[in-house]
């Protein structure tokens, strides 16, 4: 039995039937993710600590009548019809790019024409990785559909290549791994150098994680993300060519970074310092979680927020405000902006009895300051991608 709300399973099946006049053959559910700590270091030799959450991109798929395949975006009320075995090229920011990117990586398979519809319960633009759920979820569905036999790791890499080549975002692999490999009630501790990972029980009692969605997404987020990557890579390349002992950011010490400061400039220096500190913080955080020293974990989250805001410069006024106000709420041990940045969610570690009061307080203060209604999502850590065949329907 899969761990997805029955309501969503039923809704998606009925939507498919309404669209295409028959029942689907297969349903796939790809979750969004949180990341406890380890931000912007999945493409910087770091360790990251994400987890899948109980919000999903759901896909229903079945055979098409003619030669062409049809994809319906239920939330947008838009369709995309194509020959799935065609050659695809990216178009300017459009949801179909995620499908084209995935299809182009199945070009060695003979894809039988299909009808597919999809819908999401992952809030868009909130930094909860709805795009990784979209590309990896479709890759998973197509893998089942074509019986291509690709591994979960290959599906995650397909999702990442889709972002790079069709969406123009040079992301790391954290989001794709979280949606593919997530495990209920566990964090995924991922080594982004060799892509190995282990599961860590997510037991924070009596504390819990709460997300406050700032509901802003600043428009230059994607280009700024790619720019951060270039700035930090400039530092890494020089470190590697200057010091033979340096193969990755894990091998660098502060003295070495100081020695190349003049050559890389202040900006790249700040970015690299953040990366080195964040790599260390993840390792400290893992010890705090193991020893249940949650106050210490909270202080590490705060340090990550300051680093992301002041050194990596990916926060924004709205998130900084929410962060400051969150720390003044009763029961809060720590908080930080989460994900790529420039908007999206604040992740808060808070005593479970104080959640409601904090949500009320923060939404009031945020509305008064920015005139924006925030949203609050209590975090439930769920399972990675799951599927069910139609005959298993509840």
Residue 231 interacts with ligand GLA (CB under 6 A): yes or no: no
Angle between helix axes 174-181 and 152-162 (nearest 10 degrees) is: 140
Strand pairing report for 332-337 and 47-48: unpaired
Q: Which of residues 314-353 bind ligand GLA (CB under 6 A)?
A: 339-340
Structure tokens at 388: 């069910």
Residue 101 interacts with ligand GLA (CB under 6 A): yes or no: no
Judged by CB under 6 A, which of 15, 45, 109, 175 binds ligand GLA? 175
Residue 174 interacts with ligand GLA (CB under 6 A): yes or no: yes
The interface region with ligand GLA, picked from 12-20, 167-175, 262-270, 317-325 by CB under 6 A, is 167-175
Residue 55 sits at the vertex; the CA angle it makes with 53 and 59, to the nearest 5 degrees, is 125
In whole angstroms, how close is the CB of 42 to ligand GLA at the nearest point?
5
d(CA 230, CA 241): 17
Residue closest to 349 by CA, chosen among 331, 322, 367 = 331
DSSP code string of 255-308:
HHHHHTHHHHHHHHHHHHHHHHHHHHHHHHHHHHHHTT-HHHHHHHHHHHHHII
Residues contacting residue 219 through CB under 8 Å, at least 6 positions apart: none
Structure tokens at 183: 């495990």
Q: Decide if 175 is catalytic.
A: yes
CB closer to ligand GLA out of 40 and 269: 40
Count of residues in contact with ligand GLA, rule CB under 6 A: 11
Residue 39 interacts with ligand GLA (CB under 6 A): yes or no: yes
In whole angstroms, how close is the CB of 44 to ligand GLA at the nearest point?
9
Residue 172 interacts with ligand GLA (CB under 6 A): yes or no: yes
Judged by CB under 6 A, which of 136, 171, 210, 326 binds ligand GLA? 171
- Catalytically annotated residue among 15, 45, 54, 175: 175
d(CA 336, CA 372): 19
Residue 123 interacts with ligand GLA (CB under 6 A): yes or no: no
In whole angstroms, how close is the CB of 351 to ligand GLA at the nearest point?
26
* Residue numbers at the binding site for ligand GLA (CB under 6 A): 39-40, 42-43, 129, 171-172, 174-175, 339-340
Which residues does the annotation mark as catalytic? 175
């Amino acid at each position: 039995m899969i761990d997805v709300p029955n309501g969503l399973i039923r809704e998606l099946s009925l939507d498919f039937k309404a669209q295409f006049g028959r029942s689907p053959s297969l349903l796939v559910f790809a979750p969004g993710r949180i990341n406890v700590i380890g931000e912007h270091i999945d493409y910087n030799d770091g360790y990251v600590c994400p987890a899948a959450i109980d919000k999903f991109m759901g896909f229903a798929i079945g055979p098409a009548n003619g030669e062409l395949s049809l994809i319906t975006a239920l939330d947008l009320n838009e369709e995309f019809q194509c020959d799935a075995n065609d050659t695809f090229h990216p178009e300017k920011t459009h949801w179909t790019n995620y499908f084209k990117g995935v299809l182009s990586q199945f070009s060695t398979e003979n894809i039988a024409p299909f009808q597919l519809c999809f819908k999401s319960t992952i809030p868009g633009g909130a930094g909860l990785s709805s795009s990784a759920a979209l590309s990896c979820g479709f890759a998973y569905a197509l893998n089942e559909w074509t019986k291509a036999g690709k591994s979960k790791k290959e599906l995650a890499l397909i999702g990442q290549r889709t972002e790079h080549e069709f969406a123009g975002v040079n992301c790391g692999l954290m989001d794709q791994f979280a949606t593919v490999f997530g495990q209920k009630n566990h964090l995924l501790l991922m080594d982004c150098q060799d892509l190995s990972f282990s599961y860590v029980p997510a037991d924070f009692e009596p504390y819990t994680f709460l997300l406050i969605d700032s509901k802003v997404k600043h428009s230059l987020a994607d280009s700024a993300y790619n720019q951060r990557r270039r700035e930090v890579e400039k530092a890494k390349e020089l470190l590697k060519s200057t010091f033979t002992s340096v193969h990755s950011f894990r091998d660098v010490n502060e003295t070495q970074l100081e020695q190349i400061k003049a050559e890389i400039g202040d900006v790249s220096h700040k970015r690299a310092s953040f990366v080195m500190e964040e790599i260390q913080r993840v390792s400290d955080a893992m010890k705090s979680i193991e020893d249940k020293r949650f106050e210490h974990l909270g202080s590490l989250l705060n340090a990550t927020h300051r680093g992301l805001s002041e050194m990596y410069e990916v926060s924004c006024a709205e998130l900084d405000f929410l962060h400051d106000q969150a720390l003044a709420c009763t029961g809060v041990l720590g908080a930080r902006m989460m994900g790529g940045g420039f908007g999206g969610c604040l992740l808060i570690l808070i005593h479970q009895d104080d959640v409601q009061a904090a949500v009320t307080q923060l939404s009031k203060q945020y509305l008064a300051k920015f005139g924006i209604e925030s949203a609050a999502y209590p975090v439930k850590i769920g399972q990675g991608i799951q599927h069910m065949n139609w005959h298993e329907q509840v």
